[in-house]
């Protein structure tokens, strides 16, 4: 049919269900899924491995500029590689999460990663999730979603997610880490999390994964069909 492949941008706070939903929607559309948060996590991991504190802005930005990040989709998920090594597991540990805020606030790191993200999505056919995707990375995305859920629900989800990976976590500690990250995400000077005026807002507190996937998939299909209708072209 050869329809024009669109860009779908999804933003929202930590553990709001973005990645699971974005990955599934990408799979149904046959699009590439890019988890932009994984890139900030990868820079954090490489800095810590090099013995650099994540608040050393210049050194961390140099690492971001030097490393080669790539995504390799398989049937299950999209794995993230740094310099040829699969770091998908290592970037999700609480240690990375605890050290990530200065990396996300680092202006040069953001510039470097935003450019890589724009490159990855430039020909469309991509679902990307993060904090600044609807506002900075792809302000021209055909479909923009802002996903939210209460902090308590998000903490519950994160605890189960970690449990599924055999990582134990205390609910109260996870809840306070989520609230701390919300504050950092909403208030940083560069690339803060904010609701784009033209984003569709989806509160997932009481929604199933299937419902939110279908909602986004339907919105995407409506746009794709409209784009490929004869009166438009
Ligand atoms: O999975 P979770 O929601 O915990 O976070 P993530 O999407 O893996 O993102 C990790 C961190 O990277 C977040 O706390 C954000 O501060 C930052 N981030 C960002 O600054 N910009 C993005 N586009 C994506 C993530």
Mean pLDDT of the chain: 93
Ligand 1 mean position, distance from CA 37 (Å): 4
Which residues is 202 bridged to in the sheet? 147
User: Per residue in 47-58, pLDDT tens?
Assistant: 999 999 999 999
> Looking at the predicted structure, is the pLDDT value of residue 199 above 60?
yes
Strand order across the 143-148 sheet: 32-35, 126-130, 7-11, 143-148, 200-203
The pLDDT of 206-211, averaged and rounded, is 93
Beta-sheet pairing, 126-130 with 143-148: unpaired
Q: What is the pLDDT of residue 112?
A: 98
Domain at 7-227: CATH code? 3.40.50.300
- What percentage of the chain carries pLDDT values higher than 70? 97
Q: What is the pLDDT of residue 166?
A: 85
Q: Lowest mean pLDDT: which of 4-8, 76-80, 136-140? A: 76-80
> Looking at the predicted structure, is the pLDDT value of residue 1 above 80?
no
For residues 77 and 164, give the distance between their C-alpha atoms in angstroms, rounded to a whole number: 15
If we measure between CA atoms, which residue out of 124, 128, 129, 141 comes closest to residue 5? 124
Residue 233: pLDDT band (50, 70, 90) is very low
Beta-sheet pairing, 78-82 with 69-73: antiparallel
What is the best residue among 38, 77, 130, 186 to mutate for testing ligand 1's pocket, by most ligand atoms within 8 Å of CB? Answer: 130
Residue 157: pLDDT band (50, 70, 90) is very high
User: Per residue in 53-94, pLDDT tens?
Assistant: 999 999 999 999 999 999 998 777 789 999 999 999 999 998
The pLDDT of 40-51, averaged and rounded, is 98
Q: What is the pLDDT of residue 96?
A: 96
Q: State in Å, rounded, how far the first CA of the chain is from the last one.
A: 14
Q: What is the pLDDT of residue 2?
A: 58
Q: Is 145 in the pocket of ligand 1 (CB under 6 A)?
A: no
The pLDDT of 28-44, averaged and rounded, is 96
CB atoms within 10 A of CB 48: 17
Secondary element (H or E) of residue 157: helix 151-164
> Looking at the predicted structure, is the pLDDT value of residue 217 above 90?
yes
The pLDDT of 163-176, averaged and rounded, is 91
The answer to whether 43 touches 116, Cβ cutoff 8 Å, is: no
**pTM (2 decimals)?**
0.92
The answer to whether 37 touches 11, Cβ cutoff 8 Å, is: no
Atom 18, ligand 1: residue with shortest CA distance: 37
> Which letter, b or e, does each residue of 24-47 get, where b requires 16 or more Cβ atoms within 10 Å of its Cβ?
bbbbebebbbbbbbbbbbbbbbbb
Q: Is 40 in the pocket of ligand 1 (CB under 6 A)?
A: yes
> Looking at the predicted structure, is the pLDDT value of residue 167 above 90?
no
The answer to whether 102 touches 180, Cβ cutoff 8 Å, is: no
Domain ranges in the chain?
A: 7-227
The answer to whether 128 touches 138, Cβ cutoff 8 Å, is: yes
CB atoms within 10 A of CB 82: 22
Ligand 1 mean position, distance from CA 103 (Å): 10
The pLDDT of 21-36, averaged and rounded, is 95
The pLDDT of 96-103, averaged and rounded, is 95
């Amino acid at each position: 049919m050869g329809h024009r492949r669109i860009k779908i941008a999804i933003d929202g706070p930590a553990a709001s269900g973005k990645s699971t939903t974005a990955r599934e929607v990408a799979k149904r559309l046959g699009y590439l899924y890019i988890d932009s948060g994984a890139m900030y996590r990868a820079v954090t991991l490489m800095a810590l491995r090099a013995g650099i504190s994540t608040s050393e802005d210049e050194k961390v930005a140099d690492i971001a500029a030097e490393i080669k990040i790539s995504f390799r989709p398989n049937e299950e998920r999209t794995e993230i590689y740094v310099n040829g090594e699969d770091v998908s597991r290592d970037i999700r540990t609480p240690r990375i999460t605890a050290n990530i805020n200065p990396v996300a606030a680092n202006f040069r790191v953001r510039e470097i990663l935003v450019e890589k993200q724009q490159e990855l999505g430039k020909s469309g056919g991509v679902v990307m999730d993060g904090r600044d995707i609807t506002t900075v990375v792809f302000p021209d995305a055909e479909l923009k979603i802002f996903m939210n859920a209460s902090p308590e629900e998000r903490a519950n989800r994160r605890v189960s997610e970690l449990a599924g990976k055999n990582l134990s976590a205390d609910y109260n500690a996870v809840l306070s880490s989520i609230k701390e990250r919300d504050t950092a995400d909403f208030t940083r000077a560069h690339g803060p999390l904010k609701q784009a005026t033209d984003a569709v807002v989806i509160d997932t507190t009481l929604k199933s994964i299937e419902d939110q996937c279908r909602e986004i998939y339907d919105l995407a299909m409506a746009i794709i069909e409209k784009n490929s209708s004869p009166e438009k072209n």
